[in-house]
Amino acid sequence: FAALEREDPEIADVLVDEVARQRDTLQLIASESFTSPAVLAALGSTLANKYAEGYPGQRYYGGCGQVDRAERLAVERALDLFVAEHANVQPHSGTSANLAAYAALAEPGDVVLAMGLPHGGHLTHGSKASFSGKWFHPIAYRVAPETEEIDYDEVRDLALAHRPKLIICGATSYPRLIDFALFREIADQVGAYLMVDAAHFIGLVAGRALPSPVPFADVVTGTTHKALRGPRGGMILCRAELAQRIDKAVFPFAQGGPMMHAVAAKAVAFREAGTPDFRGYANQTVRNARALCAGLAAEGMRPVTGGTDNHLAVLDLRELGVTGRDAEARCARAGIALNKNPVPYDPERPAVASGVRVGTPSVTSQGMREGEMRRIASLIGRAVTADPDTAAGAAALRDVALEVGEIVGAFPPYPLDAE
Ligand code: PLP
C-alpha cells in the first residue's frame, strides 16, 4: 500500500475511503460479504501478470507451472466442497459463467425457460438487455400472486407448451428454497437441460446451510464473491459428460486468458469454505436473515412470501407509504447500505420499486447475531419512515446514523492491521 500511496495518491485515497465506508456503515446488500485477508492477498499478487489461456497442462503460453498448481488446487477444492464431477473456475463473473453455460447447452434461437426479472430472476435469465434475451428465445415463469413463491404448475405448463432446450432456476431476489427435484422432474418430462444459477446461495451450499443443487442439475453456475466470500468471479460445476463442452464454452468461446490471481483467490476461498468456521458463518447467516426479516415485519414492512429460508429478505413497503427508492436513499443517509427491489407484480417501475432487499452475509461475517439483527431492524424502521425534507426527519436520520456507528464500531470487518 505504501507503493500505491507514493505512486498514485488519488487511487490510494479511494482505497482508504472505501475501507472506511465498509467499516463505518452497515452493509446489507444481499450479494456482498467480506472476503478474508488471505483472499485479498492472493488477489493482489503477481499472479495477475500471467497469461494462461487454456487449462492446466494444456496452455497456450509458457511459464504456466505455478499458475497450473493454483488452478488445479482451485478445481480439486471446488470438486470436494460441492461434491461435483467437474468444475471450471475460470469465469470472470456470474454473467460470464452463464454465457458459457448457455453456449454449452443451447444454440442461438433456442427456447430457454427461466424466472422473469420482475419476479426475482437475473438479467442473464432472458432480459432483452442481455445476451440471454437477445440471442435466445426466453419464456418467463413467475411467482404465484397469492404465495409469491415459484408457481411450479406454471413452470410445468410453460415447459410442456414451449418445449425449452434449457430450464433455469436460481434467482437474484428470491427468499425461499427452490425445489430442485421438481425442476429436474419437469426438465426430464420435456427433455430439457436443467441449469441452476446458484450465484446468490452457492456460499450457503458450501457451508451446508442450504440444500445442494448439484445432484439435480446438469450444470450449476455461481459467483464466488457473494456469500461464498471469495474474489469477484464466477464458476461452473457440471456432470462429467458435459465437462469438455463447458470448458470450451468458457475458453475460447466466452473468454480469453483467465485471471490467475482470481483463480488462486478462488482456491483460497474454497479452502476456507470447507472449515467449521465457515459452516458456522453460513448457518448464522440464515438465522440472522430470519431474525432481521421478523424484526422488519414488526416495523410494518411486509416480507414477500411471508419470510425467508436463505440469506435475504424482500420487504414490501407499501403499507408504510414509502417507495423502495426513497427507503434506499433514507437508509443511505443513515449509513445503512441496502437496495430498492421490485416486489412481485409491482405497480411501480423498477427505478422506483415498492420494496427493498436486505441480506445478512456481510454483517454475519462481522460476527453479528440475532440480537444485532433486531436492533438493526428497528434502525431501518426509523430510517425508512424519516422524511429527510423535514427537520424532525433529518434529525432522526442523524440519530440512526450515530447508532449505526455504535453497532459497526463493535464489529470491525477486518483486523485493523489488515486494513
Ligand atoms: N446470476 C444471479 C442469480 C445473480 O444474482 C448475479 C448477480 O447478482 C449474476 C448471475 C451475475 O453475476 P455477476 O455480477 O458476477 O456477473
Per-residue pLDDT of the chain (419 residues; tens, 9 = 90+): 899 999 999 999 999 999 999 999 999 999 999 999 999 999 999 999 999 999 999 999 999 999 999 999 999 999 999 999 999 999 999 999 999 999 999 999 999 999 999 999 999 999 999 999 999 999 999 999 999 999 999 999 999 999 999 999 999 999 999 999 999 999 999 999 999 999 999 999 999 999 999 999 999 999 999 999 999 999 999 999 999 999 999 999 999 999 999 999 999 999 999 999 999 999 999 999 999 999 999 999 999 999 999 999 999 999 999 999 999 999 999 999 999 999 999 999 999 999 999 999 999 999 999 999 999 999 999 999 999 999 999 999 999 999 999 999 999 999 765 55
Q: Is the CB of 125 under 6 A from ligand 1?
A: no
pTM: 0.97
pLDDT value of position 415: 75
Contact between residue 341 and residue 200 where contact means Cβ atoms under 8 Å apart = no
Residue 232 is a catalytic residue = yes
Residue 281 designated active-site? no
- The pLDDT assigned to 153 comes to 98
| Pocket flag, ligand 1, residue 32 (CB < 6 Å) | no
For residue 162, the tally of other CB atoms under 10 A from its CB is 16
Q: What are 158's three cell numbers?
A: 410453460
State how far the Cα of 173 lies from the Cα of 149, in Å rounded to an integer: 11
Which residue in this structure is represented by grid cell 424484526?
295
Distances (CA, A) of 331 to 204, 321, 384, 392: 27, 15, 6, 15
Q: Is 241 annotated as a binding residue?
A: yes
Q: Judge if the beta carbon of residue 255 lies within 6 A of ligand 1.
A: no
The answer, yes or no, to whether any atom of ligand 1 lies below 6 A from the CB of 221, is no
pLDDT at 1: 87
The interface predicted TM-score (ipTM) is 0.99
- Choosing from 223, 259, 312 the residue with most ligand 1 atoms within 8 A of its CB, the one to mutate for a pocket test is 223
Query: What pLDDT, in 10s, does the model give residues 134-157?
Result: 999 999 999 999 999 999 999 999
Q: What is the pLDDT, as a whole number, of residue 417?
A: 59
* pLDDT at residue 416, rounded to an integer: 63
Q: Which atom of ligand 1 lies at the shortest distance from residue 31's CA? A: 8
Q: Computed from CA positions of residues 383, 387, 388, 393, in that sequence, does the dihedral angle turn out positive or negative? A: negative
Task: Name 274's Cβ contacts closer than 8 Å, sequence gap at least 6.
Answer: 77, 80, 81, 206
Top mutation candidate among 33, 89, 124 for ligand 1, by most atoms within 8 Å of CB: 124
DSSP character string of 126-152: T-TTSHHHHHSEEEEE-B-TTT-SB-H
Distance from the alpha carbon of residue 392 to the mean position of ligand 1, in angstroms: 39
> 87, 81 in Cβ contact below 8 A?
no
- For residue 82, the CA-to-ligand 1 centroid distance in Å is 19
Strands (E), 51-136: 54-55, 58-59, 86-88, 111-115
Distance CA 214, CA 201 (A): 13
Kindly report the protein residue whose alpha carbon is nearest to atom 13 of ligand 1: 94
Single out the catalytic residue among 51, 245, 370, 374.
51
